[in-house]
Amino acid sequence: MSIYPVILSGGVGSRLWPTSRALYPKQLLPLVSEQTMLQETARRVTDPALFAAPIIVSNDEHRFIIAQQMREAGLTPLAHLLEPVGRNTAPAAAAAAAFVQTHEPKGIVLILPADHHIRDVDAFRAAVAQGAKLAGEGKLVTFGIVPSAPETGYGYIKRGASLGHGAFAVERFVEKPNRETAETYLARGGYDWNAGIFMFRADVILDEMHKHCPEIAARAAEAVLKGARDLDFLRLQPEAFDACPSDSIDYAVMERTTHAAVVPVEMGWSDIGSWSALWETGAQDEMGNVVSGDVISIDTNDCYIRAETGLVATLGVRDLIIVETGDVLLVADRNRVQDVKKIVERIAADGRTEHQIHNRVHRPWGFYEGLDAGPRHQVKHLMVRPGASLSLQMHHKRAEHWVVVKGVAQVTVGDEVKLLQENESTYIPVGTRHRLENPGTEPLSIIEVQSGSYLGEDDIVRFDDVYGRKSDASAAE
């Protein structure tokens, strides 16, 4: 039986705002190493002797970013399932299991969050190999992290009877405890942190779902069966998936089944659930600081400081989280990082957008970032990847002026197609069909000046697009 890794790439990681945002969440960011969290997770399951190619489950908005990151990592997923709406982990797992059954009815499914850090990959793979034996026997396996502290931010798993070879039946799952209860668990032993990593045969998990959450099992399988191919993606059928009740795999199945087993493991695991987790897992200097980017720190102790676009300087402070992203500066008490989500909620309530998008907005062809804006003008920097192109489009209310600052551009303006070199430019009048392409082997950089009565990203009419996007605000440019 093959092991099919299923990487769940959902969630927005609001506790890691302002670096993590809805349209570019933490799993797509390089937070612990030079690789993104998603790339780290995918590389962890690339041993061909143990794993099949990964299956990724994500929402529609992140599909091109994820595809690009997989290409950069040299990985080709077995499938990339697109959820029309978020329905928590149980429907995602059910859809993935139904998909695996089309390849191997009794294939083993390994459910992995995309945004966890594991320092000891060998220990992880050894635990997976151990779990595969139990899963092959019909167990629903979870991996318990041997606790190193009385953590109150995780749920716990209480071990039951021994199943041999270091594995145990699950006696019960425990909600996140208070400090006193967590200290009791640590002192007693036999309790592990619930990491949200699961393993089971495809047929077994679907049978258990038909018992405990039949609507999820039926609708998710229907969503796969009626799904539509779109480039390299499989779009789950919207009506069927929308009908799935929203529930986690823990509540829907694992806490109800009589076949749950736990494999305790010590593998340097962290869910990177807050800025303090990055401080704890990072390389601290002699003053206890974890520093990323252009930082000068004097008489600074036990801080996490991240500078993404400019210089951050600190003097005489301690126990702070300082994160600079160009458009936002966060300064927080390191012991209050769980409350960062309150700032995100306030931003949303105020009708702002800093919780959703960065100044740099990623697109399948590259990215754009705002440089300046006024009532009737907007200036952007566009980066187009080699061989990529924007859609053939037009705007009703704005004109555009493109200046090539690096690379070679092929531009279509009306019926004319021409090449522009560095320092050359072109003008696109209101209502004129146009397209920008990079025919070269190096990234293309363009300065775009927009002018007009309305400059919103939803003023776009598409006539042709290699990425299959339609004319709407979510797929602008």
Mean pLDDT of 449-459: 91
On whether both 302 and 232 belong to a single domain, the answer is no
Per the CB < 8 A criterion, the answer to whether 142 and 168 are in contact is: no
Residue 354 lies inside a defined structural domain of this protein: no
Residue 355 lies inside a defined structural domain of this protein: no
On whether both 334 and 409 belong to a single domain, the answer is no
Confidence band, pLDDT 50/70/90 cuts, at residue 471: low
Task: State pLDDT tens for residues 321-361.
Answer: 999 999 999 999 999 998 999 999 999 999 999 999 888 88
Tell the residue number behind the tokens 């980066």, with chain if given.
Answer: 383
Q: What is the pLDDT of residue 472?
A: 47
Task: State pLDDT tens for residues 5-51.
Answer: 999 998 888 999 999 999 899 999 999 999 999 999 999 999 999 99
Last residue of a domain, one of 270, 292, 309: 270
On whether both 337 and 417 belong to a single domain, the answer is no
On whether both 259 and 321 belong to a single domain, the answer is no
Mean pLDDT of 177-204: 96
On whether both 312 and 365 belong to a single domain, the answer is no
Per the CB < 8 A criterion, the answer to whether 394 and 461 are in contact is: yes
On whether both 90 and 235 belong to a single domain, the answer is yes
* Total domains in the fold of the chain: 3
Q: Is the pLDDT of residue 475 over 70?
A: no
Task: State pLDDT tens for residues 377-431.
Answer: 999 999 999 999 999 999 999 999 999 999 999 999 999 999 999 999 999 999 9
Q: What is the pLDDT of residue 360?
A: 86
Residue 477: both structure tokens together: 């440019």
Percent of the chain at pLDDT exceeding 90:
89
Q: What is the pLDDT of residue 153?
A: 87
Residue 405 lies inside a defined structural domain of this protein: yes
Percent of the chain at pLDDT exceeding 70:
98
How many whole angstroms separate alpha carbon 280 and alpha carbon 271? 12
Under 8 Å CB-to-CB from 104, ≥6 apart: which residues? Answer: 1, 2, 4, 202
Last residue of a domain, one of 316, 348, 380: 348
Q: Is the pLDDT of residue 189 over 50?
A: yes
Q: Is the pLDDT of residue 476 over 50?
A: no
Residue 70 lies inside a defined structural domain of this protein: yes
The domain containing residue 445 runs over which residues? 360-475
On whether both 212 and 315 belong to a single domain, the answer is no
Helix (H) or strand (E) holding 64: helix 63-72
DSSP 8-state class, residue 336:
G
Contacts of residues 324-328 at CB distance under 8 Å and 24 or more positions apart, as own/partner, are: 324/293, 325/18, 325/19, 325/358, 325/359, 326/358, 326/359, 326/360, 327/18, 327/354, 327/358, 327/359, 328/18, 328/354
Residue 285 lies inside a defined structural domain of this protein: yes
Residue 228 lies inside a defined structural domain of this protein: yes
On whether both 304 and 368 belong to a single domain, the answer is no
Last residue of a domain, one of 216, 238, 270: 270
How many whole angstroms separate alpha carbon 324 and alpha carbon 94? 39
On whether both 128 and 245 belong to a single domain, the answer is yes
Cβ neighbour number for residue 179 with a 10 Å cutoff: 10
CATH number at residue 163: 3.90.550.10
On whether both 86 and 128 belong to a single domain, the answer is yes
CATH number at residue 446: 2.60.120.10
Residue 396 lies inside a defined structural domain of this protein: yes
On whether both 424 and 328 belong to a single domain, the answer is no
Mean pLDDT over each residue of the chain, to the nearest integer:
94
Residue 449 lies inside a defined structural domain of this protein: yes
Strand partners, 361: 368
On whether both 62 and 170 belong to a single domain, the answer is yes
Q: What is the pLDDT of residue 477?
A: 52
Distances (CA, A) of 55 to 20, 43, 115, 323: 23, 13, 15, 33
